[in-house]
Structure 1
Amino acid sequence: MKRDSLRLRLGLAAAALIAIALALAGIGLTVILDRVLDARTADGLDRVAKLIAGQVAIGRDGALTLPQEPPDPRFSTPYGGLYWQIEGGGHALRSRSLWDRGLGTVPDIAVEPAVGDLDGPDGGRLIAVTRRVTIPGNGGRTALAVTVAEDRRDLAQSRATFLRLLVPSLVALFAALTLAMALFVRRALAPFRILRADLAAVHSGARPRLPEKFPEEVRPLVADLNRLLDAQERDLERARRQAADMAHGLKTPLAVLDALARRTDMSDPTLSQDIAEQARAMARQVERTLARARAASGGLRRRACSATPVAERIVGALKRLPDGEALRWEIALPETLAFPGDEDDLTEILGNLLDNARKWAHRRIRVSGGPEGEGGRLTVEDDGPGMSAAAIAGIARGRRWDETRPGTGFGIAIARDLAEAAGAGLRLDRSELGGLRVTLHWPAGSDAIAG
């Protein structure tokens, strides 16, 4: 997936937001757990304080006594983590777990019982509950403060257990939500994938326009693309007509120039040759301009055609020429090979290439092709003299190869223009047959299934 992918951006943004939300949820749950633990612990300590307050008695000397201590063994274990203390009338009574230390009381607040933190006998922090009661004794009433406390380290263990369960749960929830969001983003972007496939169908020539069965949010874009396709088709058709009109308008002046060249041949051969040469140069430029106009087959509306029937038809026509009957023509093309252009484009390209091969071949011409990577190729070879590297470079600049034979080399330049207009390329090198090999090749993005 590319870095500028909308799907990747939405997925990363969703994953980041989910992570932040789950982190805040984890913090919130931890705070809630701490408060719930404190509330439950304070409630349990208050029950113990009520039990102690209900059993405490005052002796004749004013000393405090507790006939029966709470049953939890931590009250009897020194620094056991659970403590109680009774203070009042100048006397104090403590649990064995406090050993020789005092517990203190939670500051008096309006809420009864008072809940707060105290320092423990071993330096730890305690959550404590102090309940203030008044009991009768020795002919009067004595105010007592009953404090029960528990070491917070016991609560910390419960908190750690909760976190050990919470963190993996949040991680699993993050994975599940991220996967669900990825599926949601994929589903949400499905219309754009369908639009891309429909555009590829338009590009390959499988359909003329985009269908309008898209969600409401995408439909305006589809309508604009269809209007663009229609406008482009009209502009291209108008450009073809204008090119044809220009060529038709130039044919008559060129014919007149050619006639004048023949008439002046006897009186001034040099002038006649110059005029004829200029007329031929102009005719070649007109031919090349027309070829380019015909190759402008529609930008987005790319057409495709099967290469084998076109090659067989052109070879059949060239065989009937006087110098074509003596040649051995070989065609080795798969039926599924499709050229990414319309039939007129391929006819113009192959016609130029095969006609050039016919002019220079001694005995043999071969047409072959097939898949090349994920694209395709189509090769024309002959057993003629071939071309030098300098001649190939000249062809690349649109120059003729040889002036002694009409049209030599210039047809290859036209074929190159047509191939490039169709998204293909033309490669020239030496053939195994000894002559020139011209390879027409196109990448996967330009390949299409012939309809």
Structure 2
Amino acid sequence: MRRLSLRARFWLLTLVIPFFVVSAGWVVYVAYQESLERAHIDRLSAHLYLLLAAAEPSGDSLQLPEELQESRFNQAQSGLVAVVRNSDGFIVWQSRSSLGLPQTLPWLAPETEPGRIFHRRVDARPGYLQVQLPALFAVDSGLVENGFRRYVFEVWQQASLLEQESRSFTTTLSIGLVIVTLALCAIVALFLGWALRPLQNVTRELGAIEKGEMDTLSENYPKEIAALTHALNTVLDVERRQRERYRNSLGDLAHSLKTPLAVLRGAIDMNEEERRRTLGEQVARMDDVVTYQLKRASAGGEGVWHKPTPILPLVTRVTSVLQKVYADRGMYCEINVAEDVAFLADEADLMEMLGNLIDNAFKYGDAEVSIHASGEVDGFVTLSINNDGPGIPAHDWEKALQRGVRLDSRPIGQGIGLSVVRELVESYRGELKLASGVSDGVTIEMIMPGRVVS
């Protein structure tokens, strides 16, 4: 199943924007409706108190002015009507704005005690918002309720006035929400292009590398992508170094075999004994050359790409074998390597390196070999192997690490062990160094990427 691209995922995320905008708009709309109705009720309540203040008892009835201070009460069909009723619901006074109403305003008994305002919506056609205030007045006759007559003051406002304001706000709100949604989508589109530009640049540069137009990715990327580009550059460098190592090893192999082949070709004219001796020497030499070049070409390299390999188990394994090999010499081996110190290298390569170095220490030491590993320093671990043998003069240290160079007169080997180790160590971007021993002899330091593991 093909996975969605990052761009498609971003656009799917933007579908949430209209949902949140509409939700926010709905909350604003509901809050505005409640606020609008509350404002109208407060305004009608104020008109109601002004109407109550204008009422004066006169004999057995109330006296109210023909015109009120609010001009809409004095205009026919203004949508704002004032009414005063007696306790039976009969209209005793109404404002001039009631003229021309399609029907009489219905009587709705108040649901509150005198002196308290009550409001409600009336669904009659047209719809109304009604505010009522029952009040008691002392009059000359018709005494009720402990000497007071009950009147109900009412203010009616057509709901269409409130709905008109609501529609105006709703239209403005809808236009605003559409503009906000489009603006947010545009911002997301711009942000998407800006955020994905580094990835597009990486893709373009990888294409250029594939065509041979570039060697590595540039480092000018945000830190979230810089780790990726650094890792890709490391992979490219490893692949390039490995390719160069193969090419150089094949070239060196071909060059190294020329001399033995020429000698073998000349052995045709030799007598039987000389031919046999020459054949054995050159075959052994060719075998060493092939072995060396194969090890050089197949070096693991780049320790950052390997899991930590603890040093102590490998050192213990190698020394236990060599102590049996050199048992007749009674060699003593001191190991000072912590269990949690590890190299970032392939185990087979480490066995090859440690086997060569520790074997040389046993071979050229007189009685004692010591192996010590330091802790991690700047991502590197140092393994020191010291013996108490005759040592190597300082001016010969570099020469001792060169292929085919022997500094002793022993016939064993071809002098390529240290050079193989050096090639392997350098393939991991490490370093192999020689130094004077603690007392006598020589110390070989193998510095390679490593860490302390928990």
TM-score, normalized by length of structure 2? 0.47
| Larger Rg belongs to | 2
